[in-house]
Amino acid sequence: MDTPNDRKPPRPDQPTLSGMPADDGPPPRPAEPPTPPGRPRLRTANRQQIVFRAAALDELISAEHPARIVWDFVGGLDLRPLYDAIKSVAGNAGRPAIDPRILMALWTYATIDGVGSARQLDRLCRDHDAYRWLLGDVAINYHTLADFRTDHVELLDRLLTGSVAALLAEGLVDLQRVAQDGMRVRASAGAASFRRRPTLEGALAEAQAQVEALRAELEQDPAAGDRRRQAARQRAARERAERIRGALDRLPELEARKKPEDRAKARCSTTDADATVMKMGDGGFRPAYNVEFATATDSQLIVGAEVVTVGSDAGQMVPMVEQIDERYDRRPKEMLVDGNFAQHDQIDAVSGEGVGCTVYAPVPAPKDKAVDRYAPKPGDSPAVAAWRQRMGGEEAKAIDKERAATAECVNAQARNRGLIQLRVRGRLKAKAIALWYALAHNLMRAVSLRAAAKVRAAAVAGL
C-alpha cells in the first residue's frame, strides 16, 4: 500500500475528482539573468511585497526628535486663556474641542520647519511622522489651523514676554546690550490692488449697491439652496465693501506722507489696506510690511517684536526701547542700530534722563570729505555730540560690529524659515506671524543656551 509520501501529484493533464486541473501552486519566479561582469549589483525596490507593521504613534519618532522638545516647551506655557474660551464643557452639549496645546505645538514646530501654509501643514499632519506624532490621531482641517495661527496675537505677545523672562531668571540672558533691525516682508496684496481716492470711492459705492441688491434678492428667494448661495454672495460683497472702506480710512495717512502736490497720487490696496509699497532688498518696489526684531547680543534671543507699515526704520528705536521696558521692567543699557535708526530726536529720547541708554550707530559720512564726521556740530545736543565722538573710537566700532552678528543674523534665520512673504492680510495678523517666528527662534536658542550652561556647570564641577 502506498504511503502518503509515496503518492505523486496528478499530472496537469490528468483529471481530478472535482473535474478541475490540479493546483501546483504559484508559478515559479523566473530566474534573474546573471549580472554581467563589471555591472553593479543592486537591491532594487519591491513595492509588491506585502508587509505588516504595527507600531504606536509614540514609536514614530526618536526620543531626541525636535518635535518632543516642542511638545515639552508648549506644555510649560500658560495657555489658560485658550482653555477658558472653550465652550464645550463637561455636562453640556457640544463636540469636544481640539486641545490648544496640540495646535500650539503644531504651529511652533511648523515655524521651525519653515512651513508657513495652513494647507501645507494639514497635508503634513497626514503624511509626516513628526506632525502625526504631535497631532496624536486628532482630526483637524486647515481652516482650524489657519484661524488659530492669527486669532491670538495678545496671547502670543504675552508668551514671548514670559519665555524671555524665564530665561532672564535663569541667568541665560541679560538686556545690557540689545541690537535692533528691521526687514521688509512681502505682503499678500498684489500691486494691481492699489487704487487712488476717486477709484476707491467709486468702488465703494458699487460694492454697497451690490450688497443692497443681494440683500433684497435674498429676501425674495424662496428656495433654501438658493438662499444659501445668495447669502454667500452677499457676505463676499459685504467683506469687499469693508476692505474698500478700510482703504479709504487709511488713505489720509498715506496722503500725509507725500508732498502737497503729490497727495492726489496716494494709493491704497483694496485687498490689504495696511500693506504699503516699500523698496525691497533687490531694489524693486512691492507691497510689504516692516518687521522689527530686537535681539539680546549675548544670547541672540529675540526680546522685542513689532510690525509697522512704513518702509523706513526711522523713528522705531524709541518705541522698541519702551516695549522692552514694558515687557521686562528694565531698559537696555546699550542699543545697537544701523544708520537708518539714528535720528537726532531718537538719540536724545533714549539717551536722556529716565532712560540712560547708550546708542551705537554708524555716523553718516558728510558730503564734504574734509569734514570730520565724528566732530560735534554747532547744532548738536549733548547726547548727539557724545554719540558722534563715541563712534569715532575703536571700542565703539568693535561694539557696532555685534549688530550684524546678532540682529542681522536673527533676521537671516527668519528668512531661512520662510519669512519671505506673508500669507495673511492686515497688520495684526502679520504681527501674529512675526511673534510665531520669535517664539520658535527663542525655543531653539533656549535649547542651545541650556545645553551650554550644563557643559559649563559640569566643567566647573570637574575642577
* Long-range CB contacts (within 8 A, 24+) of 384-393: 384/344, 384/347, 384/348, 386/351, 387/342, 387/347, 387/351, 387/359, 387/361, 387/363, 388/363, 390/358, 390/360, 391/360, 391/361, 391/362, 391/363, 392/363
Phi, psi of 207 (to 5 degrees): -65, -40
Q: Is residue 276 part of a domain?
A: no
Say if residue 339 is in the same domain as residue 416.
yes
3 band by pLDDT with thresholds 50, 70 and 90: low
pLDDT at 210: 75
Window from 18-27, 189-198, 222-231, 276-285 with minimum mean pLDDT: 18-27
Q: Is residue 42 part of a domain?
A: no
Say if residue 325 is in the same domain as residue 198.
no
Residue 70: CB atoms within 10 Å: 25
Q: Is residue 45 part of a domain?
A: no
DSSP state of 261: G
Of 261, 279, 260, 277, nearest in space to 269 by CA: 277
Spatial distance between the Cα atoms of 347 and 250, rounded to a whole number of angstroms: 29
Q: Is residue 78 part of a domain?
A: yes
The answer for residues whose C-beta is within 8 angstroms of residue 137's C-beta and 6 or more apart is 57
The residue type found at 341 is: F
Phi, psi of 23 (to 5 degrees): -95, 110
Residue 37: CB atoms within 10 Å: 5
Spatial distance between the Cα atoms of 404 and 18, rounded to a whole number of angstroms: 87
Residue 235: CB atoms within 10 Å: 12
pLDDT at 114: 94
The answer for residues whose C-beta is within 8 angstroms of residue 442's C-beta and 6 or more apart is 160, 163, 164, 167, 301, 302
Q: Is residue 17 part of a domain?
A: no
Cell output for 194: 492699489
Residues 164 and 132: beta-carbon distance below 8 Å: no
Question: Who has greater pLDDT, 119 or 213?
Answer: 119
Window from 174-178, 211-215, 331-335 with minimum mean pLDDT: 211-215
pLDDT at 88: 82
Say if residue 146 is in the same domain as residue 157.
no
Question: Who has greater pLDDT, 442 or 235?
Answer: 442
pLDDT in tens, 135-174: 998 999 999 999 999 999 999 999 999 999 999 999 999 8
310 class by beta-carbon count within 10 Å (0-12 exposed, 13-18 middle, 19+ buried)? middle
pLDDT at 23: 54
pLDDT at 125: 93
To 10 degrees, the CA torsion angle through 178, 182, 183, 188? 120
Residues 142 and 119: beta-carbon distance below 8 Å: yes
pLDDT at 14: 52
Say if residue 330 is in the same domain as residue 457.
yes
Question: Who has greater pLDDT, 149 or 39?
Answer: 149
pLDDT at 339: 86
DSSP state of 11: P
Q: Is residue 254 part of a domain?
A: yes
Cell output for 300: 541672540
pLDDT at 151: 93
Q: Is residue 101 part of a domain?
A: yes
Look at the chain and report how many structural domains it folds into.
3
pLDDT at 31: 61
pLDDT, average across residues 231-246: 81
Residues 399 and 336: beta-carbon distance below 8 Å: yes
Buried b / exposed e over 370-400, threshold 16 CB at 10 Å, is: eeeeeeeeeebeebbebbbebbeeeebeebb
The answer for residues whose C-beta is within 8 angstroms of residue 113's C-beta and 6 or more apart is 417
pLDDT, average across residues 343-354: 88
Using the structure block, give the residue that is written with the C-alpha cell 495678523. 429
Say if residue 376 is in the same domain as residue 398.
yes
Using the structure block, give the residue that is written with the C-alpha cell 490528468. 14
pLDDT, average across residues 366-370: 83
pLDDT, average across residues 44-69: 82
124 band by pLDDT with thresholds 50, 70 and 90: very high
Say if residue 331 is in the same domain as residue 439.
yes
> Range of 123's domain?
57-150
pLDDT at 7: 52
Say if residue 239 is in the same domain as residue 313.
no
Say if residue 331 is in the same domain as residue 406.
yes
The pTM assigned to this predicted structure is 0.83
Cell output for 365: 559720512
Spatial distance between the Cα atoms of 120 and 101, rounded to a whole number of angstroms: 20
Say if residue 111 is in the same domain as residue 238.
no
pLDDT in tens, 272-302: 999 999 998 888 999 999 999 999 999 999 9
Residues 96 and 88: beta-carbon distance below 8 Å: yes
Q: Is residue 50 part of a domain?
A: no
Cα angle: 409, vertex 454, 77; to 5 degrees: 70
96 band by pLDDT with thresholds 50, 70 and 90: confident
Say if residue 339 is in the same domain as residue 357.
yes
Cα angle: 279, vertex 430, 287; to 5 degrees: 25
The residue type found at 301 is: L
Beta bridge partners of 305: 293
54: left (phi over 0), alpha (psi -120 to 50) or beta: beta
Question: Who has greater pLDDT, 4 or 246?
Answer: 246
Say if residue 443 is in the same domain as residue 311.
yes
Domain boundary residue, one of 125, 150, 175: 150
Residue 369: CB atoms within 10 Å: 7
Say if residue 157 is in the same domain as residue 146.
no
Of 174, 182, 176, 181, nearest in space to 358 by CA: 176
Domain boundary residue, one of 96, 128, 150: 150
Residue 431: CB atoms within 10 Å: 21
pLDDT at 17: 45
Domain boundary residue, one of 100, 121, 150: 150
